């Protein structure tokens, strides 16, 4: 098991993140509608979840 070089590892992680972001956007696009008021709250919740994930990623990278 030789592992990956640094650039290969970063490329692999970058590809994994791109794939997850694409899946996230697809899932968000497939959300049903529950009416204007509930949709507004659902979008706010989904954005909050995305913000937590993004914040965790940024924080993790700052710790390197």
- For 59, the token pair is 């924080």
pTM: 0.71
pLDDT for residue 64: 67
Residues of the chain below pLDDT 50: none
How many other CB atoms are found less than 10 A from the CB of residue 31?
11
Domain boundaries, the chain: 35-63
Rg, the chain, Cα only: 16
Distance CA 54, CA 58 (A): 6
**Rounded distance, CA 16 to CA 1, Å?**
21
What is the model's pLDDT at position 55? 94
pLDDT score of 61: 82
């Amino acid at each position: 098991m030789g592992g990956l070089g640094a650039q290969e590892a970063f490329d692999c992680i970058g590809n994994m993140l791109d794939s997850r972001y694409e899946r996230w956007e697809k899932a968000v696009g497939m959300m049903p509608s529950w009416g204007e008021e509930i949709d507004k709250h659902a979008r706010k919740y989904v954005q909050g979840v995305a913000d937590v994930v993004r914040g965790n990623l940024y924080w993790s990278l700052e710790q390197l």
